[in-house]
Amino acid sequence: MRTLKYLGAALVVLLLAALAIAFGVLRGSLPRLGGTHGMAGLTAPVRIERDSRGVPTIEAANRLDLAFATGFVHAQDRFFQMDLSRRLAAGELAELFGSVALSQDRQARVFRFRTLAREVLAEATPVQRALVEAYTRGVNAGLADLSARPWEYWLLGARPSPWKAEDTVLVVYAMWWDLQADGLRREIQRQEINARLKGAECGGGWKCALGFLYPRGTSWDAPLEGYELVHHTPPAAIPGETVLDVRAGPAPATAPGVALRAGAAGSNSWVVAGQLTTTGAALVANDMHLTQRVPATWYHARLKVVPGGASTPVDL
């Protein structure tokens, strides 16, 4: 009986020790929220403050220091998500997740986005490259400042790789993939349909069958600013049976489950003058066409260039 008590006590101690270690690791992966920290790579003091929601306000004397500090907070808050974005575009997800990501990597590698990102930086102006390089140094400084790597890497049994200047461009390509990669499959499907219809024209119109199947707009569409979509796009005539006769020949190899959307869709943007807001500040909003996810894709921050720099050293 006494042995069982000792064994039970030992298990409780081991469990508490494991929980303490897990808590310490998770705690160490959280961003720095207070104190003063010396940081190499800055030309003047920078101040970082967070509001009650954790949104940072960054004050710096110039854009290079501002870029550095932005990279710093990005890495401390979101490095794993940043890593996934660059790996998605470069086709390097399998390095983290193994064979389950090979199919996605093969699709992305066709575009050679990492090579293109390097070319973009090579063709950028010196000012543009300096900003990207300052941001890159800030990201790596923020990652190194964490007491422990982000918790996702512990689950995967991996370590984060340093951020490269080209990775910032890769994130842009990842956004393209999220928003427009499916458009390639839709275009391929249209070409297959057009080939099945033999590029049919009728009544002097250009490919009237495709115009009928894929109208630019309908009476259900809201007009865009400066372009009355409905009034300027009359309904396409219904093609005759000779045009829509698809009974001959093999069936087209269409991609299953591909949603078709009208090509005239536009982004939704709003601008509200300061006279109409409670704070007197103008508002600009945009529909970013992204799916809901946790954490959100977008990172909310306030960036301020203050001549002369902040009044104190880096305040985190």
- 188-239 pLDDT, tens digit per residue, is 787 777 777 766 566 545 566 677 777 766 666 665 555 554 445 566 666 6
Q: What is the pLDDT of residue 279?
A: 87
Show the beta-strand stretches assigned E in the chain.
47-50, 56-60, 269-272, 283-286, 302-305
DSSP one-letter code for 204 = T
Q: What is the pLDDT of residue 31?
A: 78
Backbone φ and ψ of 305, nearest 5°: -95, 115
- Mean of pLDDT over the chain: 78
Other C-beta atoms closer than 10 Å to the C-beta of 185 total 14
Half-sphere exposure of 170 (CA within 13 A, CB side): 26
Q: What is the pLDDT of residue 315?
A: 40
Q: Name the H helices within 159-316.
A: 165-196, 208-213, 229-232
- The pLDDT confidence band at residue 258, using thresholds 50, 70 and 90, is very low
Residue 228 token pair:
């009355």
Backbone φ and ψ of 284, nearest 5°: -130, 125
Overall pTM surpassing 0.75 (yes/no): no
Cβ atoms of 60 and 120 closer than 8 Å = no
> How many residues appear in the chain?
316
Residue with tokens 């249209």: 190
Nearest CA-CA partner of 67 in 50, 84, 42, 45: 42
Strands 269-272 and 302-305: unpaired
Residues 90 and 122: their CA atoms lie apart, in Å, by 18
Q: Specify the higher pLDDT residue, 262 or 281.
A: 281
Q: What is the pLDDT of residue 254?
A: 46
- The pLDDT confidence band at residue 263, using thresholds 50, 70 and 90, is very low
Instruction: Tell me the pLDDT tens digit for each residue of 37-92.
Output: 777 888 899 999 999 888 999 999 999 999 999 999 999 999 999 999 999 999 99
Backbone φ and ψ of 227, nearest 5°: -150, 100
- The pLDDT confidence band at residue 251, using thresholds 50, 70 and 90, is low
Residues 234 and 228: their CA atoms lie apart, in Å, by 11
Q: What is the pLDDT of residue 309?
A: 59
pLDDT-wise least confident of 106-115, 136-145, 165-174, 180-189: 180-189
Instruction: Tell me the pLDDT tens digit for each residue of 97-109.
Output: 999 999 999 999 9
C-alpha distances in Å from residue 298, one per residue of 72, 231, 310? 16, 36, 26
Q: Specify the higher pLDDT residue, 142 or 180.
A: 142
Instruction: Tell me the pLDDT tens digit for each residue of 116-146.
Output: 999 999 999 999 999 999 999 999 999 999 8
- Fill in the amino acid letter for 107: Q
DSSP secondary structure of 110-123: TT-HHHHHHHHHHH
- The pLDDT confidence band at residue 187, using thresholds 50, 70 and 90, is confident
- The pLDDT confidence band at residue 178, using thresholds 50, 70 and 90, is confident
- Mean pLDDT of the 150-171 span: 94
The verdict on whether omega for the bond into residue 295 sits within 30 degrees of 0, i.e. cis, is yes
- The pLDDT confidence band at residue 147, using thresholds 50, 70 and 90, is confident
Is the predicted pLDDT of residue 161 greater than 80, yes or no?
yes
What 3-state class would DSSP assign to 9? helix
Is the predicted pLDDT of residue 184 greater than 70, yes or no?
yes
Class of residue 106 by CB neighbours under 10 A (exposed 0-12, middle 13-18, buried 19+)? exposed
Q: What is the pLDDT of residue 21?
A: 59
DSSP one-letter code for 58 = E
